[in-house]
Amino acid sequence: MTNQKYENQVWLTNWLKLKVKQEEKDFNNLASIKEKIRTFCFIQQDYTSKVVIKDYPNLKQLNLGNNKLEEIIIHNCSNLKLVQVIYNKLTKLKIENCPSI
């Protein structure tokens, strides 16, 4: 598996753009967009490989169930209270700096 494929998260970036209705040219301030996100629900999307959820200060719920993810890393999501990752191919789940869990 190549590193590029392993780190591919284009789907997450595209979702963020749609979620906050930003045009490509206005997508430069990713931190302010991440502050608006409260819930991720990406179930049964056939996402594979690795996903990194990082620096979402107001994220409260994360559902990545029913995918084919092998590795999930969650970092610096201070308000995260619920993580659902059932029915994946996980070999690694790492949660760091998420004090509400």
What pLDDT, on a 0 to 100 scale, did the predictor assign at position 45?
A: 86
How far lies 46's CA from each of 10, 22, 42, 51, 68, in Å?
A: 14, 25, 9, 12, 6
Q: Which two tokens stand for residue 12?
A: 């997450």
Average pLDDT, the chain: 84
pLDDT band at 79 (very low <50, low <70, confident <90, very high): very high
Task: Check if the beta carbon of residue 72 is closer than 8 Å to that of residue 90.
Answer: yes
Q: Which residue has the higher pLDDT, 58 or 33?
A: 58
Distance between CA atoms of residues 20 and 26, nearest Å: 10
Domain residue ranges of the chain, discontinuous segments joined by +:
3-96
What pLDDT, on a 0 to 100 scale, did the predictor assign at position 4?
A: 40
Q: What is the average pLDDT across 27-54?
A: 85
Is pLDDT above 70 for 69?
yes
Is pLDDT above 80 for 70?
yes
